[in-house]
Amino acid sequence: MSGSTITPWVVGNWKMNPMQADAKQLVQNLKKLLQDQEIAESACQIGIAPISIALQSIQAELQSANRHIATVAQDVSRIAGTGAYTGEVSAELLKDSQIEFVLVGHSERREFFGDAPNILNEKVQNALNAGLTVIYCVGESLEQRENGQAEQVVLQQICDIASVVNAQQWEKIVIAYEPIWAIGTGKTASPADAQAMHATIREGISQITPIGQTMALLYGGSVKPENAVELAACPDINGALVGGASLNAESFYKIAQAFANTK
Ligand code: PGA
Q: How far apart are CA 69 and CA 249, in angstroms?
A: 13
C-beta of 104 in contact with ligand 1 (< 6 A)? no
Domain chopping of the chain, boundaries: 9-15+46-262
Residue-wise pLDDT tens digits, 244-257: 999 999 999 999 99
Probe ligand 1: pick from 223, 227, 246, 247, max atoms within 8 Å of CB? 223
Name the residue at shortest CA distance from atom 7 of ligand 1. 243
Name the residue at shortest CA distance from atom 3 of ligand 1. 243
Residue-wise pLDDT tens digits, 75-123: 999 999 999 999 999 999 999 999 999 999 999 999 999 999 999 999 9
User: For position 206, what pLDDT does the model report?
Assistant: 97
Name the residue at shortest CA distance from atom 2 of ligand 1. 243
User: For position 1, what pLDDT does the model report?
Assistant: 43
Residue 186 has pLDDT above 90, yes or no: no
Q: How far is the CA of 40 from the centre of ligand 1 (A)?
A: 25
Catalytic residue from among 92, 106, 122, 140 = 106
Residue 48 pairs with which residues in a beta bridge?
A: 12, 71
User: For position 3, what pLDDT does the model report?
Assistant: 46
Query: Which tops the pLDDT comparison, 125 or 262?
Result: 125
Binding site as annotated, residues: 13-15, 184, 222, 243-244
Q: How far apart are CA 121 and CA 43, in angstroms?
A: 32
Per-residue confidence band for 4, with pLDDT thresholds at 50, 70 and 90: low
User: For position 5, what pLDDT does the model report?
Assistant: 84
Domain 9-15+46-262 -> CATH class: alpha beta
C-beta of 12 in contact with ligand 1 (< 6 A)? no
Of 214, 127, 210, 223, the closest CA to residue 177 belongs to 223
Binding site as annotated, residues for substrate: 13-15, 184, 222, 243-244
User: For position 263, what pLDDT does the model report?
Assistant: 58
Q: What is the rounded average pLDDT of the residues 116-144?
A: 98
Are 44 and 20 in contact, with CB atoms under 8 Å apart? no
69-73 and 45-49: which strand pairing?
Answer: parallel
Residue-wise pLDDT tens digits, 30-87: 999 999 988 999 999 999 999 999 999 999 999 999 999 999 999 999 999 999 999 9
- List phi, psi (to 5°) of 214: -120, 5
